[in-house]
Amino acid sequence: MTLHIERRHAIVVPLPPETAFPLFTPAGERLWLAEWQPEFLHPADGRTQTGMVFRTGHGGEETLWSCIEFAPEQHRIRYARVSPETRFAHIAVQCQAAGPGSTRVEVCYTITALNERGAEKLAALTEDAFQASIDDWKQRIEASIMAGTLQNPAP
């Protein structure tokens, strides 16, 4: 039974780091992921800051999130999240310049199963499945750029 995994993958998006980084904040993610609808608990206005707390129901499972590090100067953000029915995770996103007008986005998930159902979810999140999901982020961001729907969200 798989009880703990770490998955890491990087993508390159055609935006400079100062534009790309805010897309990985809770409010910014809504600009390219329609099903991402966080409910902001603290602060209620959804302003990204260390200590913020929000809830999602993505995938039909309630998940509670907290931003445990917000370092916009370094283009880094980290979250702790718990889906009480299945698993606990830490997520880290680091953006770095990858050339003129592009950003390398490294995403790392460290996940611990809370029970057998959680272990089943972890077993399904193979390296290939994780890479495919992060590659999907790249495709959604690029599609939003092409559609002209991306704006620079306030971090």
Tell me what the mean pLDDT of segment 47-76 comes to: 95
* pLDDT reading at 147 higher than 90: no
pTM: 0.93
For the chain, domain boundaries? 4-147
Q: How far is CA 96 from CA 20, 72, 76, in A?
A: 9, 12, 9
Q: What is the pLDDT of residues 17-26, one digit of tens each?
A: 999 999 999 9
**Are the beta carbons of 4 and 89 closer than 8 angstroms?**
no
**Are the beta carbons of 98 and 66 closer than 8 angstroms?**
no
* pLDDT reading at 96 higher than 90: yes
Type of residue found at 37:
Q
Q: Is domain 4-147 given the CATH code 2.30.29.30 in the classification?
A: no
Q: Where does the pLDDT of residue 155 fall: very low under 50, low under 70, confident under 90, or very high at 90 and above?
A: very low
* pLDDT reading at 1 higher than 80: no
DSSP H helical segments within the chain, as ranges?
17-20, 26-29, 116-124, 127-147
Q: Where does the pLDDT of residue 151 fall: very low under 50, low under 70, confident under 90, or very high at 90 and above?
A: low
SS3 state of residue 57 = coil
**Are the beta carbons of 113 and 86 closer than 8 angstroms?**
yes
25, burial (CB in 10 Å: exposed 0-12, middle 13-18, buried 19+):
buried
What is the C-alpha end-to-end distance of the chain, expressed in Å? Answer: 39
More confident residue, 26 or 58: 26
**Are the beta carbons of 138 and 13 closer than 8 angstroms?**
yes
**Are the beta carbons of 40 and 28 closer than 8 angstroms?**
no
